[in-house]
């Protein structure tokens, strides 16, 4: 699943065969005809990966800087969902 995030960014959620149940969320920026990978996050749960990707795309669409995504520490720490 690919989610357009505006300004040339896309957020992609994939489950790669052969890696078990691993889900990968990647942020990429289109530069001319190439795609530059900005970040790559791995999850063991598909719905959690999808929620993270949607949250990340919404944050990029709302004008937040990509520096925030590039400099964050590992783990899901953009805006944790409230319970």
Q: What CA–CA distances, in Å, run from 74 to 6, 27, 30, 33?
A: 24, 14, 24, 29
pTM of the model: 0.75
Compute how many other C-beta atoms are within 10 angstroms of the C-beta atom of residue 29.
16
State the DSSP code for 36.
E
Model pLDDT, residue 1: 87
Report the relative pairing of strands 34-43 and 2-6 from DSSP bridges. unpaired
H or E, element range at 12: strand 9-15
Mean pLDDT of the residues in the chain? 80
Half-sphere exposure at residue 5, Cβ-oriented, CA atoms within 13 angstroms: 26
Higher pLDDT, 56 or 69: 56
């Amino acid at each position: 699943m690919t989610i357009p995030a505006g300004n040339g960014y896309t957020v992609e959620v994939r489950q790669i065969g052969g890696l078990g149940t691993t889900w990968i969320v990647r942020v990429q920026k289109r530069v001319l005809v190439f795609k530059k990978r900005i970040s790559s996050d791995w999850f063991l749960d598909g719905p959690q990966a999808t929620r993270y990707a949607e949250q990340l795309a919404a944050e990029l669409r709302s004008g937040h800087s990509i520096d925030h995504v590039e400099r964050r520490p590992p783990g899901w720490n953009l805006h944790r969902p409230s319970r």
